[in-house]
Amino acid sequence: MRKNNQLLVITHLSQLLDLITGFGGFIVPLILWLTNKEKIDSMDIHGKSIVNFQISMFLYALIAIPLILVFGLGILLLIGIGLLCFILPIINAIKASNGEDPNYPFSINFIK
């Protein structure tokens, strides 16, 4: 295995494709993780964290949608999810460039 912090950074930042193109923020990191987890040191840890974060945010958004109609608080929850989906990939890309492990709070560990 070889060390490639640049690819780890790209994997984290590729989540932002959803904000630019509307899609790809889940698929691109998933493909990068699955194709490089055996080749790149720490890719497995970073890839699992990203996939768990993306699935968790999707589920939280699904929960927030009915809360808009019921309580009106779902809008605040969706804004919070949007901010997390923008800020946390950038923070974790910086961590990856420094060789640190990722940390995505509020993530459910679907893949261990």
Q: What are the structural domain ranges in the chain?
A: 5-97
Residue 34 has what pLDDT? 96
Tell me the sheet residues that pair with 2.
40
Closest by CA to 106, choosing from 43, 42, 63, 44, is 63
Q: 1 falls in which pLDDT band (50, 70, 90)?
A: confident
For residues 42-70, give the mean pLDDT: 94
For residues 23-28, give the mean pLDDT: 91
Which DSSP symbol is given to 106? T
Q: Do 93 and 40 meet the contact criterion of CB atoms below 8 Å apart?
A: no
The values of phi and psi at residue 111, to 5°, are -110, 125
Measured from the Cβ of residue 87, the count of other Cβ atoms closer than 10 Å reads 10
Supply the pTM of this predicted model: 0.92
Q: 18 falls in which pLDDT band (50, 70, 90)?
A: confident
Residue 87 has what pLDDT? 97
Q: Which amino acid is at 37?
A: K
As given in the structure block, the two tokens for residue 73 are 């608080």
As given in the structure block, the two tokens for residue 36 are 């490089």
Q: Which tens digits make up the pLDDT trace of 77-89?
A: 999 999 999 999 9
